[in-house]
Each structure stands twice: as structure tokens, then as C-alpha cells.
Amino acid sequence: MLLDALRTKLQVVTGTDIGEVIFDWSEYFDDTRNKIYPLVLWSLDGVGFEKDIRTLTIQKTKVLTLTVFIIGSYNESTEDKINIWDTIEAKLDVYLNKVNETSGLTIENIAKLKGIYYGPDATSPDKELGVSYRDVELKLWC
């Protein structure tokens, strides 16, 4: 599966509360665009992968290991940081389960993801909070 096809599969938002899905840090940091929260960012830059390139393989597969982020807006004077983290983490979990149901794509380690919470100054100059899962293993096949 090509990365362009993967991008299309990861843009699944039907049945979720995800505002938008992006794949490039430069798009995330672009001050001229309006972000639609909560947004999911798949960090494809520098992603590692394993691939079987034998010509006689019955089914071509590739396993990518990457980090996925969910980012939500945050108003520190009216919102509780912990509640926002709980909310966006739950939305990311629903989204990842939808992705896992997508044909040709499986999250191999969905039962043991490792996460990190990010505070309002860690993600961007905007007032945002984030949650990420590191080392997500996406298995792709045709």
C-alpha cells in the first residue's frame, strides 16, 4: 500500500468526534489555517517501517511504526485541563478503533499502546492540550 492510500484510510472521521486529520507538522504549525478541533496528527516524517519485498509473497505487507497525536483547544480560565485530556483521549481511542476496522489496515499493538499527555505550551503557541500514542504499529496490506 502506498502512503497516499494510507492517508485516505486514516482520514476516517465518520462515527467519531474528530474535527480533522492531518499528516504534516508544517500543516499543523501553519498560522494561516483554522484548525478544526479535536484534530488528529499522524507524524509520518521520520517514520520507521518493515517490509517484505520478496516477489513470491502471497500478500504484500508493510508495518509502519509511528506516533499519533490528538490535539484539542483549551481555555485555562474556563476549562479543566484534566477533563480535556480525558475527553480527547477517549475521542482518540474511538478514532483508532474505527481505523482498526478499515480494510487493508490493522493497528498491531492496539491492546498495549503507550501514551503521553501534553500541556498547553508543549504543543504550539495556541492554547491546546494533547495526547499521543508512541510506537503505534500500523500493518498495511493490499
Task: Domain of residue 126: give its range.
Answer: 3-141
Structurally, the chain folds into a number of domains equal to 1
Alpha-carbon torsion (78, 22, 31, 132), positive or negative:
positive
Distance CA 130, CA 16 (A): 17
Distances (CA, A) of 58 to 13, 64, 89, 108, 139: 31, 20, 37, 20, 15
In this prediction the pTM is 0.89
**pLDDT of 55 higher than 80:** no
Between 57 and 96, the higher pLDDT residue? 96
Q: How confident is the model at residue 76 (pLDDT cuts 50, 70, 90)?
A: confident
Query: Is 60 exceeded by the pLDDT of residue 122?
Result: no
User: Lowest-pLDDT range, 17-26, 36-45, 46-55, 75-84?
Assistant: 46-55
Does the structure show a pLDDT above 60 at 139?
yes
33, 35, 52, 60, 107 from 141: Cα distances, Å: 34, 31, 11, 6, 12
Mean pLDDT over 76-88 rounds to 93
Q: Which three cell numbers stand for residue 60?
A: 504484500
CATH number at residue 38: 3.30.2000
Q: What pLDDT shows up at residue 56? A: 72
Can you give the pLDDT at residue 113? 97
pLDDT tens by residue, 5-29: 888 889 888 889 999 999 988 998 8
Confidence (pLDDT) at 10: 92
